[in-house]
Amino acid sequence: MPAPERRDDRGTAYDGPPPRRVVSLVPSLTEAVAVTDAGLLAGATDWCTHPVGLDVPRVGGTKWPDLARVLALAPDLVVANAEENRDEDVAALRAAGIPVWVTAPATVDQALDSLGRLLAALDRPDPGWLRRAHEVWADRPRLPGARAVVPIWRRPWMVLGRDTFAGDVLARLGVRNVFAGHVDRYPKLARNEPATVDVDLVVFPDEPYAFTPDDGPEAWPQARPVFVSGRHLTWYGPSLVEAPAVLLGQLTG
């Protein structure tokens, strides 16, 4: 039976030799693989923007990758995410004989563990950036309990709800998401509902929706708007090293 570290976040075993050609369908995992060993990365999505200047073949978007292009790159392993990528694409790649490693962290601790298992499967265990990420999240500063809502989309309005990685990031920094106990992970709000939510802060990330001072805050006049880096809020990879300092600077700035 494969060792536990050779299973992805869904429990699927990887029993092949260490991959030498990896195609990533997740921007944060693209960064993690490239920063650890750029020579392993054979392809990435159009949305994979980090590391800056990354020069690898592109395979389309996260939700609609060009599977023929992925297969043409002859990967030993494709890395995907349970939320960002479609189950049918994962199934199609596996049916074509390509192993797929699926991540699904909902907390910072789960993300650090998930990254450790993936990089061990790639025969690149315990890189320096991952050790540093463990350190900064073990001893990070905190805000004094600000109550917040975190929009991620509008038309319709959608906010962070329960059991989300980004919600855990904010909670560990002392920001309390008032929708954290909602039955849905991404609750939809009625058109005029934002103005009725009792919060101190409205945290606007710049992805997946690119909120700006002129697009978003007008719907939440009761609270102070703050704009944060979506990469540092929602990506799990080398950005985790900078995330506490970057996000706290933006939340208090």
* Order of strands, sheet of 157-159, starting from the edge strand that comes earlier in the sequence: 151-153, 157-159, 188-189
Domain 146-252 CATH assignment equals 3.40.50.1980? yes
pLDDT along the chain (253 residues), means of 10: 71 94 98 98 97 96 97 98 97 98 97 97 96 93 86 96 96 95 96 95 96 96 97 97 96 89
For residue 58, the 8-state DSSP code is: B
Is CATH 3.40.50.1980 the right assignment for the domain spanning 4-136? Answer: yes
* Closest by CA position to 52, among listed 176, 213, 231: 231
Domains 4-136 and 146-252 belong to one CATH topology = yes
CA distance 210 to 132: 29
Task: Select from 96, 124, 106 the least CA-distant residue to 32.
Answer: 124
Distance CA 218, CA 98 (A): 47
- From CA 44, how far away is CA 25, in angstroms rounded? 6
pLDDT of 5: 65
Contacts of 77 (CB under 8 A, 6+ apart): 14, 16, 19, 21, 22, 23, 98, 99, 100, 101, 121, 122
Q: What is the pLDDT of residue 140?
A: 76
Q: What's the confidence (pLDDT) of residue 1?
A: 36
CB neighbour list of residue 88: distance below 8 Å, 6 or more residues apart: none
Please, what sign has the CA dihedral across residues 154, 155, 160, 163? negative
* Whole-number Å distance between alpha carbons of 19 and 28: 19
Q: Where are the alpha helices (DSSP H) in 87-184?
A: 87-95, 108-121, 128-138, 165-172
Where along the chain do its domains lie? Answer: 4-136, 146-252
Q: Tally DSSP H helices, then E strands, for the chain.
A: 8, 11
